[in-house]
A and B are shown apart, each in its own frame.
Chain A
Amino acid sequence: MSMVSPLLFLILVPLVAIAFILVGSNARMTALIASVVNLVFVLALFAVYKQGEAPYQFLWSLPVIPSMGIALTLGADGLSLIMLLLAALVTVAAVAVSRTPEKNANWFYASLLFISAGGIGAFASIDLFFFYMFHELALIPTFLLIGIWGSGDRQAAAWKATIYLALGSFVLLLGLIGLYLIQPEGMRTFDLRAIIGMAEAGFLPDGNWVYLLLLIGFGILVSLFPFHTWAPQAYASAPAPAAMLHAGVLKKFGLYGLIRIAAPILPESVAAFSNLLLVLLVGNILYVGYVTISQRKLDWMLGYSSVMHMGYIFLGFAALNTLSLTGASLMLFAHGLSIAALFALSGELRERTGTLDFAELGGFAKPMPAFGLLFGFAAFAAIGLPGFVGFAGELLVFFGSFIGGEPSMGSINGKEIFALNNFQIATICAVWGVVISAVYMLRAYRRVFFGPLNDRWAGLPEISGLTRGAIVTLIVVMLVTGFFPSLLINFLQSASQVWP
């Protein structure tokens, strides 16, 4: 155990930056420096991380409630590192594309950094109690960001999201307490490694109700159908950087938690409730998918699309094999980057035009060709076009889920024939979902960038400077990891040891 974990610095950098901002240093510069420092830090961790040794490295622990086995334990394996990279990248991009508001700029950037610190803390925690607590750091900043700097019906959106998330997080807390209480008396702890050890040794009894609480709690946070209604509204109303951080990083917390906790500890319960989860995730993909097609505004469409894409990741989780879980982990990363790029671009568009209604837009490829190109790349990445990391993730999820579950055999006229089991049916629905997402993304693209250009938009300025650099960076990362997914998959091996 090292003296002090570098992960602690990763959490402290944004918090210290917040302190500086609140006492009056230049908000934008401080936030930008802190987020770039963090990104460099995470990349350095990738370089230092030793493959093939103990999965969790950079360990550090501070007992907080010893009698209940609660400690602030930090540590990272390959999956955590990938999520940390996602968090750091999206933070840099979010700060870079932010337009400093005229009033209270310091609160604005402080709130952004708070969300970032919450995400980083959650992904760097091994102790489930702190894993949970860090995620909640983001709740109030999101409330303030949407409520003060949001657009549209921002008050209703902020209330709805906050109350939904508070409810979900307390359901999740009950699930975590349940996970604590089903451990044998005297050994109870919140340390993830110890709990996985107990599960492998067979000390944990049946935990169906615990899993259900975790599924509903995490499900609300990830906008699992039918608990998804807070998300599109909140993302449509939120200022672009807040939507980027929340949809790109924070929302991944729920699925990350399921992959981290439920998959290794409660695999029997996951299997027992797989049919329920399959129905819900097909709801995410098909129902929400068709709802997405019918949207008339770009921001709402992106909000719904981010809900819909969670369905694929749930599918990867439900199938519960190494292939599908690897795919799900890749998709966490891929979707975080693509949705962040899309929200950044739609925020830029709103700044230029003041509206995101498809009926009023059109022909923007002419005045802003680079903008159109970047949007096209981001949209293709979201669909999962080959060459982007999303494709690798989707492919692995589909392969993994198609072989998930028990093979099912039917018979016709006494002859045994191969039949589809529920996982395979869900996979087919999900493949159809790719078509749905291609339909709405391409339609949006056509409506915004092609067709006749309204005269009032003739002089739109091209995307430039830091904003352009940030979005190009996100797209380049998606392309590089898309052509060489092994860069990420190698790191996932450390996490996959405990997967069923």
Chain B
Amino acid sequence: MAMISALALEICVVCVGIFLLMADAFYVHLDKRALAYGGIFGLLVVFAMTFFIEPVPKEYLAFYADDSLGIFFKRFALLGTILTLILSIEYAPVVERFIPGSKPGAGLGEFFVLPVFTCAGLMWMASAADFVMIFCALELVTISFYIQVAYMRKNQASLEAGTKYLILGALSTGFLVYGITWIYGMTGQTGLQKISGALLFFPQASQTALLFGIGLVLVALGFKVAAAPFQFWVPDVYQGAPTPVTAFLSVGSKAAGFVVLMRVIEPFLAVPVINAKLVAALQVLAGLTLIYGNLAAMPQTNLKRLLGYSSIAHAGYLLVGVASVGSPSAGRAIVFYLLGYLLMTFLAFLVLIPVAKAAGGDDIAHFNGLGRRAPGLALAMLISMLSLAGLPFTVGFLGKFFIFEAAMREQHYALVAIGVVTVACGFYYYLKVVRAMYWQPAPADAGPIEVSALTRFAATFLAALILIIGIFPKPILQILP
């Protein structure tokens, strides 16, 4: 079997994207949905290719890490994008309503193609081992997200979300560049490996400047992963953006942010003095994020907004894992948690879109009586919510278990105590959805809910994975980096 280098994966994804754009431009009469199916197919092929990777010689490509962590997150990005495209097909009628066009379906093309380019950016981020590379990949992701968030240009909320995201995203980019400048100024390097070499002989006196640089980078990445106190864009953007973009943003963008965070802090953790301060900063971030995300989620009545806050809350658990990276089990815990987060979040959105389309809104009240109206959808949502809450026999519980284990190993008892209380809060707001579905009566005028076969298949697949991995994680744990 011919082996390929990891670089070829991103090139292929970009080619798929360009091909789809061309098809959109030149085949005027094409049903735009075909683009999405084409994208799904192309990305599935690339996904298959990830199993035939040949390592690139290190001296050849110092800015590019094709280690198992990188490959894992490339697969993660591909899977996330495929699911986003499935969501987009389901959501297309809503987008059409908010885009004026001479004929139906005009302007839908880019909605299906942009996620593919975002995917390429996410995959580059997964492998970025140099600050310049990190910056470029991050910008590719962020700029394509700006467009997607504001895509429904006749919809006030979508435009508002886009503006908010643009301004705060640009601000965080500024923090990132400024931080990189300081680190470059102090070490003379942008490559992470070279930086860790330079740190070996780093003078004690200049540490403050270096810490300043790291702090700025941490702020910028805090924006990307939605960590408190840099989370304020999240609820509005998540609620206003088209639903598939919300899902993609909350999973893809967050996961890439965490990979970069893990890679960036690694060289600095090797220096004992910096290590202590960095871990303390991460602990504070984690604690704040947990408290803010969970407490603010409790009074929410809109499900998309609730999922936005829940995404902050989960960033908090992940940050607890990052703050515990000293423990040998922390890396695996974070990766496992992210995988679980992808499964359960996309499952929630897969149910949300058809229900919201039928009910005409995405409030929790629109789920009233779903258990009787559509038992299958309700069951999928139940599994997703219970997994997000962290009930045993789901992947969400195991994720929390691994994170808490790593944190206790590192003796972060305060964080663990906060974590336990916030888990109890989580049970409240996730079970609010369960209550709506099973306790409340259905509204009298509720119509039937139509679900496409593809969505049905994807939801069944995700729900089954959540339970199977939750009960028997052995095979998955073996392939984790």
- A residues with CB within 8 A of B: 63-68, 104, 107, 132-134, 136-137, 139-140, 143-144, 147-148, 155, 159, 162-163, 166-167, 170-171, 173-174, 177-178, 180-181
Contact = CB atoms under 8 A, between A and B. Distances in A.
B178 interface: no
Given A143-B434, A167-B420, A137 B427 contact: no
Contacts of B474: 63-66
Interface in B382-416: 382, 386, 389-393, 397, 401, 404-405, 408-409, 416
B472 interface: yes
Contact of A174 (B420, B434, B439, B471): B420
B372 interface: yes
A103 B431 CA distance: 22
B373 to A, nearest CB: 13
Interface in B352-399: 371-372, 382, 386, 389-393, 397
A174 B390 CA distance: 14
Interface string B460-481: 0000000000011110010000
Contacts of B21: none
Interface of B: 371-372, 382, 386, 389-393, 397, 401, 404-405, 408-409, 416, 420-421, 423-424, 427-428, 431, 434-435, 438-439, 471-474, 477
Given A162-B427, A163-B424, A166-B389, 17 more contacts: A64-B471, A65-B474, A66-B474, A107-B371, A132-B392, A136-B392, A136-B393, A139-B391, A143-B434, A144-B438, A159-B428, A167-B424, A170-B424, A174-B404, A177-B401, A180-B405, A181-B405
Counting chain B CB atoms within 10 Å of each CB, the highest count among A143, A171, A173 belongs to A173
A173 B404 contact: yes
B232 to A, nearest CB: 28
B431 A136 contact: no
A132 B400 CA distance: 14
A170 to B, nearest CB: 5
5 contacts: A64-B471, A65-B474, A133-B393, A140-B386, A170-B424
Contacts of A147: 435, 438-439
Given A64-B473, A67-B477, A181-B408, A166 B423 contact: yes
Given A64-B473, A167-B420, A177-B405, A148 B372 contact: no
B185 to A, nearest CB: 42
A100 B27 CA distance: 60
A257 to B, nearest CB: 15
Nearest to B390: A170
Q: Which secondary structure dominates chain B's binding surface?
A: helix
Given A64-B474, A65-B477, A133-B393, A170 B423 contact: yes
A64 to B, nearest CB: 6
A31 B368 CA distance: 28
Contacts of A64: 471-474
A140 B421 CA distance: 19
A415 to B, nearest CB: 50
A133 B420 contact: no
Contacts of B420: 167, 170-171, 174
A65 B404 contact: no
Nearest to B474: A64
A104 B474 CA distance: 36
Contacts of A66: 474
B391 to A, nearest CB: 6
Contacts of A140: 382, 386, 391, 434
B409 A181 contact: yes
A144 B440 CA distance: 11
Contact of B408 (A144, A155, A174): A174
A445 B423 CA distance: 43
A66 B476 CA distance: 12
A67 B416 CA distance: 22
A154 to B, nearest CB: 9
A143 B431 contact: yes
B421 A167 contact: yes
Counting chain A CB atoms within 10 Å of each CB, the highest count among B404, B405, B408 belongs to B405
A63 B475 CA distance: 11
A489 B15 CA distance: 74
B392 A155 contact: no
A65 B393 CA distance: 13
A122 B435 CA distance: 27
A181 B391 CA distance: 22
Contacts of A139: 391
A328 to B, nearest CB: 26
A177 B382 CA distance: 27
Contacts of B423: 166-167, 170
B424 A166 contact: yes
Contacts of B439: 144, 147-148, 155
